[in-house]
């Protein structure tokens, strides 16, 4: 059988990443959360997939190690676009246990020497599955796991209605809210319910950046016909984070034609974005008009009752874990941002308790969550970020928005763009405009560059951490 050199390269990188994680995380944390991860083969060379045995472990690793995993892999695989962490139960293929981390790590042996890149090397086993077997929708995100209240009831009912078999009552469905409030959950739930009702149907969920990437790749390969045929042959199309195609005229044009083709054929379309159609900037008016012609449903910040219900649902997923009501009330009362932030705090609390063996009580919650319980963080603006970055790096604030490209100016500017993407809800084009009318692709490059440097450059990582503490405080 011929050797798949790309899989060999990924396997070698995975072996080294596991070694680094074991050394940096410590034996106890590594054994509890990171060692169970398995590498899953993917026919996309730009994607690394890792599987964990439970949804709870998957959530924990995503919340605590997603950025670190990306940094680690990109050090060995520069072409990598993303690292996907998923639950093994969602995989069609059997997960084979990984080989143990090389003993050479304990002896302090050089990591590159410990893992020679050869087809016969002893590395974590790879799960093989075809593209047709690849899970389309996240198993965690189903309608029965979505907690409903007044803040999201319209969006929830609309999503369920769109997933019902038969002629759709409306389309497109346009969901909008701030980050982490449930849009992606509802889209995956629609996919699950739609395919359960009609297993022969075709459906896809695409982040907008993925849609853009595949379209640009098709243009460069002069094969846009295949791209169009693949999407338009489906019955359900879902595009997430539409704001990321702002300013990309060719991608917007194709997106509009694709949505029109679905509408003309009486098929289903779901779009998610961080704002209502009327507030979109840098988007073709024809596309805005089309999106607003369907059902527009927003999801508001969760009220206290919903936050408490979400925590109760999360606790039910962790059998044997005791969390006093007063602690749940503390979390629901103090963490008032996104659902993702609330769930992240709960996951952190439970994970620390399981690692330390301590009982969860009010003192433990305060000690573990610290500043997360200080109440809603003040709103950070791009101007705040620019002032903080210019002071930290001792450059003029005007330089950050100037055309100067000297390293002493360009790196702080990239850090400021990275922080703007992380700490504000502004779209990429909006961020670009605040830095001297730069293109949103420049912002993407800056964000990715700082992400890479945080994994390799201690000074940059320390600077970002210091700025985050000062801005979020």
Sequence spans of domains, the chain: 5-132, 143-298, 304-373, 382-472
Q: Scanning the structure block, which residue is given the tokens 């189903």? A: 142
Asked whether the beta carbons of 34 and 58 are under 8 A apart, the reply is no
Query: How does residue 261 score in pLDDT terms, banded at 50, 70 and 90?
Result: very high
The confidence score (pLDDT) of residue 62 equals: 85
CA nearest neighbour of 283 among 322, 236, 320, 251: 251
CB 49 within 8 A of CB 25: no
Does domain 5-132 fall under CATH 3.30.300.180? My reply is yes
For residue 412, is pLDDT > 90? yes
**Residue 355 clears pLDDT 80, i.e. is over it:** yes
SS3 at position 141: coil
For residue 415, the model assigns a pLDDT of 94
Domain 143-298 falls under CATH 3.30.1360.70: no
Mean pLDDT for the stretch of residues 1-18? 73
Instruction: Tell me the residue length of the chain.
Output: 473
Q: What is the pLDDT of residues 16-39, one digit of tens each?
A: 888 888 877 777 778 778 888 888
- Regarding predicted confidence, which is higher, 250 or 128? 250
For the ranges 52-66, 121-135, 227-241, the one whose mean pLDDT is highest: 227-241
Mean pLDDT is lowest, of 102-106, 141-145, 196-200, 454-458, for 102-106
Closest CA to 140 of 42, 34, 38, 57: 57
Q: How far is residue 453's CA from residue 468's CA, in Å, rounded to a whole number?
A: 16
**Predicted local distance difference test score (pLDDT) of residue 158:** 95
**Topology at the third CATH level for domain 304-373:** Helicase, Ruva Protein; domain 3 (1.10.8)
Q: What pLDDT does residue 89 have?
A: 61
Whole-angstrom Cα Rg for the chain: 23
Distance CA 186, CA 240 (A): 11
Measured in degrees and rounded to the nearest 5, phi and psi for residue 288 equal -60, -45
User: Has residue 102 got a pLDDT over 50?
Assistant: no
**Residues 472, 198: Cα–Cα separation, whole Å:** 47
Does residue 338 surpass a pLDDT of 50?
yes
Say yes or no to pLDDT of 164 above 50.
yes
Tens of pLDDT along 203-253?
A: 999 888 888 888 888 888 888 888 888 888 889 999 999 988 888 889 999
Contact 301, 178 (CB under 8 A): yes
CB atoms within 10 A of CB 423: 19
Q: Is 123 left (phi over 0), alpha (psi -120 to 50) or beta?
A: beta
Tell me the average pLDDT across 335-339: 80
**What percent of the chain clears pLDDT 70, i.e. is strictly above it?**
87
Residue 244: which residues within 8 A CB-CB, separation 6 or more? 207, 208, 209, 212, 427, 428, 440
The yes-or-no verdict on residue 354 having pLDDT over 50 is: yes
Alpha carbon separation from 425 to 77, 381, 432 (Å, rounded) = 30, 9, 13
Amino acid 388: pLDDT: 92
Long-range contacts of residues 151-158, Cβ cutoff 8 Å, at least 24 apart: 151/299, 151/300, 151/301, 151/302, 151/303, 151/306, 152/181, 152/182, 152/299, 152/300, 152/302, 152/306, 154/297, 154/298, 155/182, 155/183, 155/186, 155/297, 155/298, 155/299, 156/186, 158/295, 158/297
Expressed in angstroms, the distance from the first to the final Cα of the chain is 57
Q: How confident is the model at residue 174 (pLDDT cuts 50, 70, 90)?
A: very high
Q: Does domain 382-472 have CATH number 1.10.1750.10?
A: yes
- Does the structure show a pLDDT above 60 at 98? no
Per the DSSP assignment, residues forming a β-bridge with 52 are: 87
pLDDT above 80 for 200: yes
Q: What pairs with residue 462 in β-bridges? A: none
Q: Which residues contact 387 (CB under 8 A, 6 or more apart)?
A: 397
pLDDT value for 56: 74
| Section 81-107 average pLDDT | 53
Q: Cα separation of 314 and 179, whole Å?
A: 19
Mean local confidence (pLDDT), 38-48: 81
Strands of the sheet containing 82-87, edge to edge, are 82-87, 47-52, 38-40, 126-127
């Amino acid at each position: 059988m011929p050797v798949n050199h790309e899989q060999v390269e990924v396997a070698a990188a995975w072996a080294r990443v596991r070694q680094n994680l074991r050394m940096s995380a410590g034996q106890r944390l590594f054994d509890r959360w990171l060692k169970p991860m398995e590498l899953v083969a993917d026919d996309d060379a730009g994607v690394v997939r890792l599987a964990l045995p439970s949804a709870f472990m998957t959530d924990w690793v995503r919340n605590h190690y997603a950025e670190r995993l990306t940094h680690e892999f990109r050090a060995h695989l520069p072409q990598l676009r993303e690292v996907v962490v998923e639950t093994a139960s969602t995989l069609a293929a059997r997960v084979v246990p990984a080989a143990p981390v090389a003993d050479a790590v304990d002896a302090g042996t050089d990591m590159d020497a410990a893992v020679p890149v050869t087809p016969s090397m002893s590395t974590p086993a790879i799960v093989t599955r075809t593209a047709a077997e690849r899970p389309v929708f996240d198993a965690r995100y189903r309608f029965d796991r979505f907690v409903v209240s007044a803040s999201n009831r319209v969006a929830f009912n609309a999503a369920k209605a769109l997933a019902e078999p038969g002629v759709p009552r409306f389309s497109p469905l346009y969901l909008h809210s701030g980050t982490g409030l449930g849009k992606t959950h509802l889209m995956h739930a629609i996919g699950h319910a739609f395919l359960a009702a009609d297993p022969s149907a075709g459906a896809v969920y695409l982040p907008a950046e993925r849609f853009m990437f595949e379209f640009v790749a098709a243009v460069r390969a002069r094969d846009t016909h295949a791209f169009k045929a693949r999407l338009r042959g489906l019955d359900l199309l879902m595009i997430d984070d539409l704001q990321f195609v702002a300013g990309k005229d060719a991608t917007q044009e194709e997106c509009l034609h694709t949505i029109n083709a679905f509408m003309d054929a009486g098929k289903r379309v779901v779009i998610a974005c961080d704002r209502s159609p009327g507030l979109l900037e840098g988007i073709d008016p024809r596309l805005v008009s089309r999106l607003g012609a369907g059902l527009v449903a927003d999801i508001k910040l969760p009220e206290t009752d919903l936050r408490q219900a979400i925590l109760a649902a999360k606790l039910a997923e962790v059998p044997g874990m005791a969390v006093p009501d007063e602690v749940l009330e503390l979390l629901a009362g103090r963490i008032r941002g996104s659902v993702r932030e609330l769930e992240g705090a709960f996951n952190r609390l439970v994970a620390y308790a399981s690692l330390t063996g301590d009982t969860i009580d009010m003192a433990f919650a305060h000690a573990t969550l610290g500043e997360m319980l200080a109440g809603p963080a003040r709103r950070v603006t791009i101007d705040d970020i620019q002032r903080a970055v210019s002071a930290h790096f001792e450059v003029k604030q005007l330089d950050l928005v100037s055309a100067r490209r000297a390293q002493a100016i360009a790196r702080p500017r990239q850090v400021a763009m990275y922080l703007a993407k992380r700490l504000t809800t502004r779209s990429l084009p909006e961020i670009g405009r605040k830095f001297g009318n730069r293109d949103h692709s420049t912002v993407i490059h800056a964000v990715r560059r700082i992400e890479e440097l945080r994994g390799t450059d201690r000074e940059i990582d320390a600077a970002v951490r210091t700025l985050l503490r000062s801005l979020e405080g």
